[in-house]
Amino acid sequence: MNTSLAIKHEIDTSYFERKRLEAKYTRYFKSRLDYRQLVTYVPNKKLPVYNWFKYKEGFSRQLVYNILKDEQVSKKDIIFDPFAGCGTTLLTCKEFGYKVVGLDILPLAIFVAEVKLQDWSDLSLLEKAVISLMNVKYRKPKLSLPDVSIIDKAFPKHIQEEILFYKEHILEYEKPIQDFLMLGLISVLESVSYTSKDGQFLRLVEREIPSVKDTLLKQLKNMIDDLYLQQQALFKGGTAKIEILKGDARELSLPIKYWGKIGAVVTSPPYLNRYDYSRTYALELCALFAEDSKYINNIRHSLLRSHIESKVHKGKWISLPAVDEIVQNLKAKELNNNRIPIMIQGYFEDMNLVIKQLVTYLKPGGIVALVVANARFEGEMVPTDLILSELAELNGLKTEKIWITRYKGNSSQQMARYGKVPVRETIVFWRKPL
Ligand SMILES: C[S@@+](CC[C@H](N)C(=O)[O-])C[C@H]1O[C@@H](n2cnc3c(N)ncnc32)[C@H](O)[C@@H]1O
């Protein structure tokens, strides 16, 4: 046999399963590049209340609104977001009068979402609290930050003390005012640090750090201005029920009253991109929740396995030919991190569990809109959207459409070695049959 043909044959078979998936789902694809921005947090940056905490992994209010409208979701239905993050789906539902329940495993996300979703009716009390906090005379704090290595890299000592001074005082206020002030403090931590949230890690940056007092004052003032602006729309409009719970999307975490009652799921799981929320939000977790590095490690291993420190699961793995193919191909390559195959397998195992729970919660005819991105490791494309669609079908859902919203680039390293292949970001729509 001609050698070049033999090589070609080898390459073709090593992509067989993914080619099969692409062929199977071609008819569901629709280009919706007009959603390019809407699948990101960017449009929220300008929106009062939605922008109180920069959650880079979030999507936009407009996206949630469009999906609910386009899919003609009834206001009698209950909407569910199993990966609620900082609450975009919930806040949008609140604004437009839909009943909604959300779940997230990260205490920080729950905290942020809860403060945003509060009915802030008495703004004069908030104003008084901000003024009194800003008038407190500085004294050395008694509290300390946990002994986690990023803290000393992120903040000079005097900034650490200023943060703790404000934390100590904020804790003296009653809830929910305490939470409002604490969110103000949490949301300025990055700007008073030497760090910048950058993909997988906190990147260290050189810059002049402003005082915590000035930054916090500005943030709290903006938050109060937002409430004056948005009060009518967000907090006096609907009487729809809103609930947010801390829990694991892989488990049956929703109370039984919701089972079989969910009309629409609008969500976005962590992407298979190695990003680790426990690292990205380490400063905020340390300032508010963590007592030591063990706490951060526990959070890391409680998250969906989309990051490189994901552990092998002892449970039963349902074999998916496309995942097996990717893992097998990767194992034959020299990887810059040999945990990548473990992460990929863990990701789909976990998402299989998530989908199972969604099937329990959805009512017949209910729809899932899931924003997700594909990934590429050492030249191996992972068509997450299609693998998940096949998983959804194995669990009894029906794929309705797949909207292509963006094509992402590749890392320069990957492009140099394997060429440039755009990586899809999509919204997949699945429905539970009637
Ligand atoms: C892409 S973000 C969602 C952002 C959200 N759409 C927004 O606009 O704020 C994914 C979320 O999944 C959460 N998460 C990770 N593992 C989880 C799990 N096992 N159960 C529930 N939530 C989880 C993360 O904490 C993160 O907030």
Nearest to 49 by CA among 95, 109, 6, 14: 95
User: Is the CB of 277 within 6 Å of ligand 1?
Assistant: yes
For ligand 1, the distance from its centroid to the CA atom of residue 69, given in whole angstroms, is: 23
State the pLDDT at residue 338: 86
**E-state strands within 351-397:** 362-373, 375-377, 380-382
- Quote the CA–CA distance of 237 and 233 in Å, as a whole number: 6
For ligand 1, the distance from its centroid to the CA atom of residue 334, given in whole angstroms, is: 31
State the pLDDT at residue 235: 64
Longest dimension (CA), the chain: 84
Question: Other CB atoms closer than 10 Å to residue 10's CB: what's the count?
Answer: 9
User: Is the CB of 129 within 6 Å of ligand 1?
Assistant: no
Question: Other CB atoms closer than 10 Å to residue 11's CB: what's the count?
Answer: 9
Question: What DSSP state is assigned to residue 17?
Answer: H
- Quote the CA–CA distance of 220 and 222 in Å, as a whole number: 5
User: Is the CB of 85 within 6 Å of ligand 1?
Assistant: yes
State the pLDDT at residue 239: 64
Measured in whole angstroms, the distance separating CA 159 from the mean position of its chain's CA atoms is 28
253, 255, 256, 260: CA torsion to nearest 10: -70
- Quote the CA–CA distance of 284 and 248 in Å, as a whole number: 21
Mean pLDDT in the chain? 91
Tokens at residue 288, please?
């508010």
User: Is the CB of 109 within 6 Å of ligand 1?
Assistant: yes
CA-nearest residue for atom 13, ligand 1, is: 83
Alpha helices of 203-339 — where are they, by DSSP H?
A: 212-230, 277-280, 282-288, 293-302, 321-331
Burial letters for 400-416: b for 16+ Cβ neighbours within 10 Å, e otherwise? ebbbbbbeeebeeebee
Strand partners of residue 402? 29, 428
- Quote the CA–CA distance of 275 and 254 in Å, as a whole number: 26
Instruction: Give average pLDDT by consecutive 10-residue segment, the chain, 434 residues.
Output: 44 82 97 97 95 94 98 96 98 94 97 94 93 96 93 96 97 97 98 89 91 97 92 65 95 96 98 87 92 89 87 71 94 87 92 97 98 94 97 97 91 76 95 98
State the pLDDT at residue 10: 45
State the pLDDT at residue 201: 79
For ligand 1, the distance from its centroid to the CA atom of residue 84, given in whole angstroms, is: 6
pLDDT tens digits, residue range 302-319?
999 988 877 777 656 678
User: Is the CB of 276 within 6 Å of ligand 1?
Assistant: no
